[in-house]
Structures are given as C-alpha cells and as structure tokens.
Amino acid sequence: MAFLRNCWYVAAWSREVGRWLTARTILEEKVVLYRTEGDEVVAFLDVCPHRLLPLSKGRLKGDSIECGYHGVTFGCDGKCERIPGQSNIPPSAEVAKKYPVAERMGMVWIWMGAPELADENDIFDLTQYHNPEWSVAHGDALEYKCNYLLLADNLCDPAHVTFVHQTTLGSEAGEDVPVETVKEGNTIITYRWIIDAPPIPIFQKFGNFKGNVDRWHYYNWHAPNIAIIDFGSADTGTGAPEGNRNDCIHIYACHFMTPVDETTTIDYWMHVKNFKPQDPTLDEQISDQFRIAFAEDKEILDACQEEESRGYEWQPLRLAIDKGSNRMRHLIKQLLAEESESTSGQG
C-alpha cells in the first residue's frame, strides 16, 4: 500500500524514548530510537548493514549502538565506529537510513520521506496545548487492527458518536442531525450542532449543567494523519452557536495516527480542556472515559477491517453522513499522486 512519506508522523511518546533502544514499525519500515547523553533523540533504520540483525537487539554504549551479533558499532550519525577484529572501516559501513526527528507536544515526531524536505515548522501544533488556562492530559497509544484510512473515516464522522458512544460521548438527541463539511487547504472539517438537548454522559458527569445545552462537534482532519475533535457544550440560550463560548465546557480530543502497515495503525491520543486546569485527578477521570469510547471505536473498526479484507465484490453503500470521509479519501489520493509525481520528477 502507498503511504504519504513526506510528512511528519508520531513515532512514540517522548516518555517512551530514553537511554535504551526502542523499536517501532512505521509505514512498514523498522525503526530504532534512543536518546543521546545530551537528550537528543536519534532514529535509524532498525537493521545492521552486516548480517541484518535489528539494531534494537543490540545495546547502547554511550551515544552509539553496538550490534548484538558481532559487535559492529555505529555512532549517532549512523557511521560505523568500530568493527571488532579489524582496524579498517570501509567508507560504506554505515546504517542505511537516518531519519529526521523532533519533539513537540510530548511526542517524538519522525519524517519518513526525503530527509532534505523535512521542515520542523510543518509539525502540527495546537495553540491551547501551551495555554496555562487549559490542561493537557497525554493519553495512550492505542493499536487498531485496521488500515489508517478506516480510522480516518471514523474521525471525519460526527454521526457515529450517537450510536457507538452512548455511555460517554453521544446521545439519541443527535440521531437525525445532519452533518456539514468544508475543505480548507489540506484540512477537512466535518461538523454539526445539536441545539437545546440534554448534555452527553461525559458532560453530565463533569459539567454541572442544570438543564439543556447547545453542543458542537467539529472534526478537523489534517492530511494525512491528524484529527483534532473540537467539541463542547454551553447552557442553551447563552449564545454558543453565535460564537459566545465564554462560559462552556470545551475539549480538544487529539488523535495522531501512525500507520504500522496496511492493516495496523497506532493512535496516539490526548485531550486538552478549558476547565479545572490544575486538577490532574479530573484529567485522568476524563481520560478513562475516552479509553472506554476509543475501545468501542476499536471493536468496530477492527471488525470493519476484517470484513473489508474478505474482498466483497459489491461496493459499500454511501450515505449523506459520509461527506467528510469521502472528501478525506479524495484528498489522500490527490496528495499521493502529487508526491509520486514529485518523486518521479526527481528521478
């Protein structure tokens, strides 16, 4: 399967990369990551160029990796520093690939494409993440046994919330509310408002609402692998639909999707909220609600992938609620074609 390569993907939480060797598979490539003594993250293709043992099965010595098979040692620049039993080091003795990496928002980002095109200014950033009046709760790395586009479908789809997440994020009030979608550059925004309805379970639990609310869902999908779900509620009649959100509960649920291979995706997720920013216990309670919801997504998407892999001859039914997903997939095809053309031109 073709993946977009000239873009940034999350390789790991920053907390997962330290003075040890961490193995990952990203876009079907084996990667090894570690931190230098100066706290810089290094990422190599996880293959020793001698007998092809994964370097992650070796050991870290200072800022260098010693292969676990014959002790061939590579510095953090990827070049061979030592070959036991011989003093001559061939110029070609180096790791096949070193990846550009950077750290942002508590995550290690990796560039899987042409290294000369990597620009750290292109890494996604959420303004509210840095605002002390908002709290940040880094979540988990949830493995889906499905193609990343199936997960992207889900994250361009406010309509599923009503039926999949009835105990956390949805309610029957949204069953017949249509969704709208717009495209802004390489971002697809799918949204809807549910006016004058009871708060959803998560806001019933944490919002202290006394009556009905006006609730919004804005699913912002940034090609090819990031979805930021902007959702919240305000008391009905306080002007939220007109832009007055001064007195509301507001959450950004952030998803950073990293394809492992054609049928496996890792979702690095977190949430950023505007209420009780100094309450880590509340942050964890809300994260637990998201864990319930995302486990429900996983059960459905893993099952969808299993059926999709059967290769039915008939085409799936398309509905009005699929507008965001359809535009997302069209954009991915366009970007893949552009990247392929650009790569061919360089050749």
Rounded Cα distance between 185 and 183, Å, is 6
Map residue 92 onto helix, strand or coil: coil
Q: Among candidates 90, 139, 149, which has minimal Cα distance to 301?
A: 149
Q: What pLDDT is stored for residue 34 in this prediction?
A: 98
Q: Give the per-residue pLDDT at 316.
A: 87
pLDDT in tens, 278-331: 899 999 999 999 999 999 999 999 999 999 999 888 888 999 999 999 999 999
pLDDT of 68: 97
What's the pLDDT score for residue 6?
A: 97
CA–CA separation, 330 vs 340, rounded Å? 15
Residue 331 contacts residue 183 (beta carbons within 8 Å): yes
Domain spans, the chain: 8-120, 126-337
CA distance 219 to 158: 7
Q: How many CA atoms lie within 13 A of 202 on its CB side?
A: 26
Give mean pLDDT in consecutive 10-residue pieces for the chain, a chain of 347 residues: 94 98 98 98 97 98 97 97 95 96 98 97 97 96 98 95 92 89 97 96 91 96 97 95 91 98 98 92 96 97 96 88 95 95 70
CATH class of 126-337: alpha beta
At 160 the pLDDT is 93
Give residue 134's pLDDT.
96
- Rg of the chain, C-alpha, whole Å: 23
Contact present, 267 and 141 (Cβ < 8 Å): yes
Residue type, 33: L
User: Structure tokens of 223?
Assistant: 């090609």
| Rounded CA separation 254/245 (Å) | 20
Architecture of domain 8-120: 3-layer Sandwich (2.102)
Q: Is the dihedral of CA 182, 184, 187, 191 positive or negative?
A: negative
Whole-number Å distance between alpha carbons of 29 and 96: 12
Q: So what's the pLDDT on residue 328? A: 96
Q: What pLDDT sits at residue 207?
A: 87
pLDDT, residue 345, reads 62
Cis-peptide, bond into residue 224, ω within 30° of zero: yes
